[in-house]
Amino acid sequence: MKCPLGKTRTHMVFADGNPHAELMFIGEGPGADEDASGVPFVGRAGELLSRMIAAMTFDRATETCIANIVKCRPPGNRNPSDEEAAACMPYLKRQIAMVNPKVIVLLGAVPLLYLFNLKGIMKLRGRWLDYDGIRVMPTYHPAFLLRNPPAKKDAWADLQAVMAEFGRKPVPRR
């Protein structure tokens, strides 16, 4: 086993959604709920992500693919170490190549760090990046948004930029 996280996991959490989706979301790693179910983003942050995807007029199950930097839960829900991320990056890079999305949304600082070697989600969110010809939008992680509700406004602006890439407009609120 290349990574020590494999020794403490209940389930490997590989991906969820359509393996050929044009829209891919990448988070940092599974939490306790995800480790128990084997599915990414199913806890409170996952519920918020599902609502965000629906607000973008996408169907989570059929129109998106969701993955993480690491595939196993770091103990105590901490961020993955450099060693742990390095062990999983070949799998994630292969996932991205196989899905071949039009757009990737990075959820938080950890995927920004490990996919681009960049720090500073606060200043880089909302700015388009390029990953092997794929448009990439960094934004806040849903768990951060749960702790900091005022940041939802900025995240929504980021997601609207992603929607524009697909020619989609938000459904008006009633």
Tokens read off for 3:
């990574």
**Domain containing residue 45:** 4-163
Mean pLDDT of the chain: 90
Q: Which helix (H) or strand (E) holds 65?
A: strand 64-68
Residues pairing with 134 in the sheet? 131
Q: What is the pLDDT of residues 128-167, one digit of tens each?
A: 999 999 999 999 999 999 999 999 999 999 999 999 999 9
- CB count, 10 Å around CB of 61? 12
Residue 156 lies in a domain: yes
Domain count within the chain? 1
Q: Is the CA virtual torsion 90, 94, 100, 106 positive or negative?
A: negative
Q: What is the pLDDT of residues 45-75, one digit of tens each?
A: 999 999 999 999 999 999 999 999 987 677 7
Residue 174 lies in a domain: no
CATH of the domain at 117: 3.40.470.10
Per-residue pLDDT, 132: 96
Residue 63 lies in a domain: yes
pTM: 0.93
